[in-house]
């Protein structure tokens, strides 16, 4: 057997180009369905885990998929309508759940800015790697991925992205002081910037503060009187909440109408969850959805599409196997003289078949190893699609 192994190895080396081409074709045919299957199982598990850990989401009537994806995975969507802060007060008044406000309409350096309360960190079990939670207006705490990618830490500053660069009517970017960094969780929270909901209202332009007249750059002053100063908004590059002006930040109008994008409700019991959901959907101009049911429906559609591509992958494997078999069959026909030589030197009659089988098995083993390695590399370097879903 060792002699036949040596002959198979020498034959593969002598026809290196053909052998390499066969290995690559087989490895590719195996890599596509293998990687797709592993990724599908991973994302299915991770997506369902995030959804199953979130009991109830409440938001404006509309597309429940947009509401769920935005609230759970911070996926931006301009189609999500806001709800008023009054809705949060009414939900809390029912005393059936812990209600956590969410506001997610802005970004900072491309990362989503998630405005919420301290209860969110407790609910998601977010641990601080350094610093503190964003308790003050104008402060923020970074997810682990944000801090790593931007090279920021506690005490540094992060600027929000302006919504309309050339629209002077829109509020300028906000210079936020980083109060802390959360430890890595492996989920969407790693790629978000967290702040208090009051900070989101500053970003909206609803809340604003005042500065002392002597602190204003004269280049920005349009006009000045004894008791007022008119400043050019077009020249203000960014706003900043400091210890000097924090107390002056206020809202105009009814504070109960301040916007939120969703409310994350954690019912105290299954009965409370049922009553709260049915009550919201029946009486209030809101919608309450169960994230696990929404994700199940979404993944049901995705996996029906995946079933089609699984058939395509199976067809690819079968076609490749047929072509490889044809190549080895034609190769064995061309090696008739070689097989006759084996017979003349006294080799067993099964030696020719064993030699071909060793070559086939060796090619398949090398191709399978290459396919598994390629799948491992793909999973290693592919971005985490769940964290940025």
Distance between CA 335 and CA 12 in Å, rounded? 13
- Count Cβ atoms below 10 Å from residue 157 Cβ, excluding itself: 12
- Count Cβ atoms below 10 Å from residue 322 Cβ, excluding itself: 10
Closest CA to 58 of 269, 297, 288, 345: 288
Express each pLDDT in 147-194 by its tens digit: 999 999 999 999 988 776 555 556 678 889 999 999 999 889 999 999
Give Cβ neighbours of residue 174 (< 8 Å, ≥ 6 apart).
138, 159, 160, 199, 202, 203, 238, 239, 240, 241
pLDDT at 349 over 70: no
Closest CA to 117 of 328, 299, 264: 264
What pLDDT shows up at residue 180?
Answer: 94
Distance between CA 199 and CA 134 in Å, rounded? 10
Express each pLDDT in 19-44 by its tens digit: 888 888 888 888 888 888 888 888 88
- Show me where the domains of the chain are located: 2-46+299-381, 56-289
Express each pLDDT in 264-300 by its tens digit: 999 999 999 999 998 888 877 889 999 999 988 888 8
């Amino acid at each position: 057997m060792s002699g036949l192994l040596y002959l198979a190895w020498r034959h593969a080396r002598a026809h290196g180009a053909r052998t390499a081409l066969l290995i690559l074709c087989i490895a590719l045919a195996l890599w596509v369905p293998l990687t797709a299957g592993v990724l599908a199982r991973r994302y299915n598990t991770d997506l369902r885990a995030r959804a199953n850990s979130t009991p109830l989401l409440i938001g404006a009537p509309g597309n429940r998929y947009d509401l769920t994806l935005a609230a759970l995975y911070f996926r931006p969507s301009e189609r999500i309508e806001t709800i008023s802060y009054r809705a949060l007060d009414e939900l809390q008044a029912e005393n059936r759940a812990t209600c956590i406000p969410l506001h997610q309409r802005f970004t900072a350096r491309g990362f989503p800015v998630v405005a919420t309360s301290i209860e969110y960190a407790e609910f998601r079990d977010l641990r601080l790697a350094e610093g503190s939670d964003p308790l003050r207006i104008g402060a923020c705490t970074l997810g682990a991925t944000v801090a790593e990618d931007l090279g920021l830490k506690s005490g540094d500053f992060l600027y929000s992205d302006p919504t309309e660069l050339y629209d002077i009517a829109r509020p300028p970017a906000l210079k936020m002081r980083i109060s802390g960094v959360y430890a890595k969780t492996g989920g969407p929270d790693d790629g978000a910037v967290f702040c208090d909901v009051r900070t989101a209202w500053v970003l909206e332009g609803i809340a604003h503060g005042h500065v002392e007249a002597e602190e204003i750059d004269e280049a920005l002053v349009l006009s000045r009187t004894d008791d007022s100063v008119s400043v050019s908004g077009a020249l203000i590059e960014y706003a900043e909440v400091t210890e000097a002006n924090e107390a002056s930040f206020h809202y105009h109008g009814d504070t109960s109408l301040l916007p939120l994008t969703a409310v994350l409700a954690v019912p105290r019991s299954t009965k409370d969850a049922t009553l709260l959901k049915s009550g919201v959907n029946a009486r209030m101009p809101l919608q309450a959805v169960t994230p696990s049911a929404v994700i199940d429906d979404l993944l049901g559609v995705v996996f029906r599409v995946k079933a089609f591509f699984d058939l395509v992958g199976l067809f690819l494997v079968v076609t490749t196997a047929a072509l490889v078999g044809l190549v080895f069959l034609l190769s064995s026909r061309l090696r008739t003289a070689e097989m006759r030589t084996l017979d003349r030197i006294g080799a067993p009659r099964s030696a020719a078949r064993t030699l071909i089988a060793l070559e086939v098995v060796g090619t398949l083993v090398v191709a399978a190893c290459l396919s598994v390695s390629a799948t491992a590399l793909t999973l290693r370097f592919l971005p985490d699609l769940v964290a940025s879903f």
